[in-house]
A = this chain, B = another copy of it.
Amino acid sequence: MIKIYEETLLYDFYGELLTDRQKTVYEEVVLHDLSLGEAAEEFGISRQGVHDMIKRSTKALKDYEDKLHLVSKFLDLKDKVHQIEHLTDHPKVKQLAEEILEEL
Chain A residues close to B by CB (< 8 Å): 13-14, 16-17, 64, 67-68, 70, 73, 76-77, 80-81, 83-84, 87-90, 92-93, 96-97, 99-100, 103-104
- Report Cα–Cα, A9/B17, bound state, in Å: 19
CA distance A24 to B77 in the complex (A): 30
Q: Indicate if the CB atoms of B13 and A73 lie closer than 8 Å.
A: no
User: What CA separation (Å) do A6 and B38 show in the bound complex?
Assistant: 45
CB–CB B68/A14 < 8 A = yes
Nearest chain-B residue to A79 (Cβ)?
B96
Find chain B residues with CB under 8 A from A16 CB.
67-68
Contact between A90 and B87 (Cβ–Cβ < 8 Å)? Answer: yes
Pairs of residues from A and B, 10 with the lowest C-beta to C-beta distance, nearest first: A16-B67, A80-B96, A84-B93, A88-B93, A87-B93, A84-B96, A80-B100, A87-B92, A83-B96, A88-B90
